[in-house]
Structure 1
Amino acid sequence: RFRLTPPSPVRSKPQPAVPQELEMPVLQSSLALGLELRATAGSHFDAAKAVEEQLRKSFQIRCGLEESVSEGLNVPRSKRLFRDLVSLQVPEEQVLNAALREKLALLPPQARAPPPKAPPGPGPDMTILCDPETLFYESPHLTLDGLSPLRLQLRPRPSEDTFLMHRTLRRWEA
């Protein structure tokens, strides 16, 4: 070691001749460590068991072993390289729709129109107000002797009458 300043004469104390506790390691400093050391020394080392345990624990060793076994079994290199990849056949339209949904999710929410209501049921029955026989009317005519009777021709009522009947029905319901 380098000392930048000479030792101070004031601080000098005599060094004790007895070694300190932590100066050198003491063999079997704890009782549990000593018992474990004695048990290990007395037991027989099983190499096969140690290799099996190492293979189970080490990922790199396991991968190397699988690689050498697959070479021995003539497995093509392409299958060895990409064996954990999953092949997906996704339609292009589905991918585009998913991307569109993601982009739309990033947009700020906008006020949306309420969903359309269910179409209204059938309208009121207009035949309540009148007799079905009178839904058509005839124009008055004169009968003359010698002429064949006029053939009656039915004419439908104008559409305004339908709305008039509907309005009348609403008034009666109220």
Structure 2
Amino acid sequence: MKTILWATLTGNGNYAQSGPNNPPKQEALADFAAHAQAAGNFIVGRRTFEGMMASGSGGALAGIDIVVVSGSVKEIPGVTVVGSPNEALSYLREKGYQAALISGGADLHNAFLGQGLVDELIFNVAPVLEGKGLNLLIDTKEYQYKDVDLLNFKSLGNGVVQLHYAIGHKTEVQMA
């Protein structure tokens, strides 16, 4: 099963933090919904999931198999809750999915990356800068420096640029 880590980053490389004064870019939200629909699923951390539901983003995700990774919460109505990245992938494999979309939370992203469980990266770079923020941290010895191959890049509109990478595969770049 192919695993795809999806994130929106700022122009200076931080995770794009959204809130009432800086809502997420609609182009990035639409792109996430399209990727989630295509995969039929997504894996998310508990806090990110709670933020998604509080913002009213749940409607666009109807019919998608949502897997929440949490070490503290054991049950959330309407979704599957597991305790680790490996449990999330095992659940989706057992259901017959060909791809898993890893959607959110810096801790969750870093757990998947640190365990070598990511095949592809999709970064939507938003046209904003943030003075502080969360970063992707690859902090295990084997993943301190990792080459990636550009698969594709395209504009999503309104200044949002998407970069699509493969980890550990040599491919030819597709321009959209």
TM-score by length of 2: 0.12
Higher-Rg member (1/2) = 1
Larger fraction in helix: 1
TM-score by length of 1: 0.13
Larger fraction in strand: 2
